[in-house]
Chains A and B, each alone.
Chain A
Amino acid sequence: MLVVEDEVLIRMSLAVVLRDEGFTVIEACDADEALIALSTAPVDILVTDVRMEGSMNGLDLAAQVRSTRPDLKIVVVSGHLAADETHGIADAFVPKPYLAEKIVDQVKAILNGTDLDHAF
C-alpha cells in the first residue's frame, strides 16, 4: 500500500495504524515520490491526500494512476473536495479530518468488495 501525504505526522500516524493491521506500507510525501514508488515497488492500494506540493496534486496523481494502473485501488482523502469530485477516479473518498481507523475500514471494504456508505 502506498500512502501519499505531505503532513509527516498525519502520514506517520496513518502508516503506523495500517502496519499494525498487517499492511505493508510505503510512505511518500508528494506525488513525485509516489510515482517513483509506483514504478519500483508492488503497490495494490493507493491512499492519497489531495493538496500537496510538487508537480501535481493528489487528485491528478489519482487520475494518472487510474489511467495507467486501472487494477490499482485508490482512496482519496481531502478536507477540501467533495466526494462527487472524485467520481470516476477514486474507489473511495474519505473526508478530512478522519480517524486512521476510518481508512483501515475503507481499505478493508475495498479489498473485500464491500460498499461502505461513503464508498462509490
Chain B
Amino acid sequence: MPSDLQHAEAFSSPKTILVVDSEIIVRMTLSEYLRHCGYRVVEAASGEEALTVLKDSDLPIDVTLAEVELRGEIDGFQLAAWIRSRRPGIAVVLAGTPTRAAKAAGDLCEDGPMMSKPYDPQLVVDRIKRLMSVSP
C-alpha cells in the first residue's frame, strides 16, 4: 500500500500545495521553499483555517502538507480524514515533526515543476532551528 507521500508523488503535476502548520516559522519556511520549487502554496495556521480553504471548491488544491499537532480543535489526523472523505482527489502528507515536514517538502520539490538543483531538506531543518532559536 503506497504511503501518503508516495500518493502525493504519484500526482502527475501537482501545482498547488496547502501547508498547514501552527508554527509560523515552520510554515513560512516550508512555504518559501516550496514556492522556490515552483509550486503555488496556500498557507493555513490551523485545521480550522485549512477546512475553510478546502471547503472553497474554487481553490484547486493538489496536495495538503499538514503537521499532526495543530492549534485549535482540529488536528492533522482529523483534517486528513475530512479530506479523504470530502476531497479524495487531494493527496495528504502528514508530518509529525518539522524535520519530517521538511523531508516531505524535499520530496515534493524533487517532483516539482521547477526543480533546477538538488534540494536539501536539511537546509530547511537548519533554517527552522535557527529561526526558532532567535524567536521570542
Q: Which residues of B contact A8 (CB under 8 A)?
A: 44-45, 49, 52-53
- Are B52 and A28 interface neighbours, CB within 8 A? no
Q: Chain B 31-53, CB within 8 Å of chain A: the 1/0 string?
A: 10001000000111110010011
Residue from A9, A19, A37, A39 within 8 A of B28 (CB atoms): A37
* A12 contacts B by Cβ under 8 Å: yes
A14–B27 alpha-carbon span in the complex (Å): 18
- Are A29 and B25 interface neighbours, CB within 8 A? no
A99 to chain B, nearest CB (A): 18
- The bracket for how many chain B residues form the interface is 10 to 19
- Are A40 and B43 interface neighbours, CB within 8 A? no
- Are A36 and B135 interface neighbours, CB within 8 A? yes
Q: Which residues of B contact A28 (CB under 8 A)?
A: 24, 45
B56 to chain A, nearest CB (A): 7
Q: Which residues of A contact B28 (CB under 8 A)?
A: 26-27, 37, 41
Chain B 1-59 interface residues, beta-carbon cutoff 8 Å to A: 24-25, 27-28, 31, 35, 42-46, 49, 52-53, 56
- Are A39 and B45 interface neighbours, CB within 8 A? no
* A35 contacts B by Cβ under 8 Å: yes
B66 to chain A, nearest CB (A): 14
Listed from nearest, the 3 A-B pairs whose CB atoms lie closest are A29-B45, A8-B49, A33-B24
